[in-house]
Amino acid sequence: MARGNLCSQCAVRGSALCCALSPEQLAAFNRISYRKHYPAGRLLSHIDQEDRFANVISGVVKLTKALPDGRQQIVELLFPSDFLGRPFGAGGYAAEAASAVELCCFGRRQFENLMHEWPGLKQIFLERTLDEIDAAREWMLLLARKSASEKVAALVLLILRRMQVGCDAPTAGPRTARFDLPLSRSEMADYLGLRIETVSRQLARLRKTGVIEIPQGRTVVVRDLAALERMACDLTPGR
Amino acid sequence: MARGNLCSQCAVRGSALCCALSPEQLAAFNRISYRKHYPAGRLLSHIDQEDRFANVISGVVKLTKALPDGRQQIVELLFPSDFLGRPFGAGGYAAEAASAVELCCFGRRQFENLMHEWPGLKQIFLERTLDEIDAAREWMLLLARKSASEKVAALVLLILRRMQVGCDAPTAGPRTARFDLPLSRSEMADYLGLRIETVSRQLARLRKTGVIEIPQGRTVVVRDLAALERMACDLTPGR
DNA sequence: CGTGTCCTTGAGTGGCTTCAATCAGTGTGG
DNA sequence: CCACACTGATTGAAGCCACTCAAGGACACG
């Protein structure tokens, strides 16, 4: 729990909610926030229970919903600069660190008050929330209508896009890329509405057709990005 | 297009976004809004294209997303008092009247400006948007993890709950209810991620087990609400 | 009475799941 | 250093649920 970090030097300064804050506001925000590290697999539910919210600084967080009988579904993946928490209401999700995670934490009430004091903050929070709805609906389309192979291709593409933001952002992305999946096969299945074996088989299929390589467990090399986009029925042209 | 309707006497006065408005604000809103009727099946996309938003006053509107090859999915159903439109961004949905619909329309820019002028409006809009996310994620769980019979039961339950709001709202709902489905079998399938034949078969199954009756096409009588809730894996106890 | 739409029902198929075995990688203890 | 256990991933075989294709019924309309 390291306080004293300077928000102005934060890795997600320009992309998280805080990008809407003036220097003075940022200084005020700096005073009420603190950083915290979590290992992969750690439950973050206490974040909600202790009335805390957070920004993801590094790593990936998964939000899951479950049925009483154990069936479960990841309903969102949070990447660096994403917001974690459910203001003005309950929630009902479980949050868990999918990889090692660094969070920027702050009090629920404090944040809600700041939103009322600083209209710019509420505005950008609202816009992000609307974007989240768009993303959720896009995923509904995937869950309901896409085949297993389309689903897996779409997920690889999603991770590729979200991970390479920040590291390097060439105007026109490269046609090939290498990265590590932040999810286990089981988590991929939980996000895609599939079984782990199906995910494995579809990844093998992508590998056999030369679209990707999997030199080692979680490492993926995209050989043919265009083909991957085609297979994913991707509609969002390189954001 | 009937102007001159009094917002203060509106059927959804207390439940739509406008519930956050003071009498003066409501009067101002009254001046920029007008009512419009649409027959079932009419595309409402122009609402977005003409930079207009709306509240649903009566009837049901469906929001759909589609893949290039024609596969499509209803991503949300809008009931009376729900908001139609996507402020601060694109959207990419098709809106269509599922039944005969009456809308309360207003200009996009005007509404966005009002949100900036009246913090209470923006606040309630934000809260509703967050609720929509919760609903979308609940539906993701359904689409990805529930069986066909669970899906159909959940949809009947959803419609039952959303339709009986307003007409009669006993504290503890009755254990039996009768209503008309605002959706065709085809639309039910589009919302549940199923085929029309599967929906038909599962409805027949519910009928044969005595949980519901279907005296006529779209008319449903729920005989055993508790059983229906059980079959739907329903988690939200009578809201 | 014919035509169209919507819904139902049946038969057969296929894609994903289920069950099960194997493999690779890692850590542990003798 | 190696045997062993354990976890995560892969692969195979069999089964099932929802899909596909197809026919027929119910009802409204001209």
In chain A, % of residues over pLDDT 90 = 80
Distance (Å, whole) CA B189 – CA B208? 20
Residues 6+ apart with CB under 8 A from B225: B173, B174, B175, B176, B177
Which of B88, B136, B146 minimises the CB distance to A127? B88
Place of tokens 């009335």: A51
- Interface residue B135 vs chain A (CB under 8 A): no
pLDDT of residue B49: 66
pLDDT of residue A92: 84
Arithmetic mean of pLDDT, A136-157: 98
CB of residue A35 closer than 7 A to nucleic acid strand C?
A: no
Query: Model-level pTM greater than 0.85?
Result: yes
Q: Which of B69, B113, B142, B143 to mutate to test the interface with A (most CBs of A within 10 A)?
A: B143
Q: Tell me: the pLDDT tens digits for B174-224?
A: 667 999 999 999 999 999 999 999 999 999 999 999 999 999 989 999 999
Residue numbers in A near B192 (CB within 8 A): 144
Give residue B188's region: left, alpha or beta (phi > 0; psi -120 to 50): alpha
Q: Tell me: the pLDDT tens digits for B106-153?
A: 999 999 999 999 999 999 999 999 999 999 999 999 999 999 999 999
Q: Are A59 and A100 in contact (CB under 8 A)?
A: yes
DSSP reduced 3-state for A211: coil
Mark yes or no for CB contact A89/B233 under 8 Å.
Answer: no
Q: What band does B5 get if pLDDT is binned at 50, 70 and 90? A: low
In chain B, % of residues over pLDDT 90 = 81
Q: Tell me: the pLDDT tens digits for A87-105?
A: 887 778 999 999 999 999 9
pLDDT of residue A49: 66
**Nearest CA distance, A130 vs chain B (angstrom):** 7
Residue A239 above 50 pLDDT?
no
Nearest-10 crossing angle of helices A148-164, A119-145:
150
Residue B4 above 60 pLDDT?
no
Arithmetic mean of pLDDT, B168-179: 65
Q: Tell me: the pLDDT tens digits for B61-94?
A: 999 999 999 999 999 999 999 999 998 877 789 9
pLDDT of residue A168: 47
pLDDT of residue A22: 94
Of B170 and B207, the structure prediction assigns the larger pLDDT to B207
| A69-83, A140-154, B48-62, B140-154, range with the lowest pLDDT | B48-62
Q: Which nucleotide is nearest to B144 (CA to C1')?
A: C16
Q: What band does B168 get if pLDDT is binned at 50, 70 and 90? A: very low
Which of A71, A123, A136 minimises the CB distance to B137? A136
Nearest CA in chain A to B120: A116
Q: Are A100 and A61 in contact (CB under 8 A)?
A: no
CB of residue B184 closer than 7 A to nucleic acid strand C?
A: yes
Residues 6+ apart with CB under 8 A from B185: B196, B199, B200, B203
- Interface residue B91 vs chain A (CB under 8 A): yes
Q: Tell me: the pLDDT tens digits for A17-60?
A: 999 999 999 999 999 999 999 999 999 976 666 789 999 999 99
pLDDT of residue B6: 84
> What average pLDDT does chain A have?
90
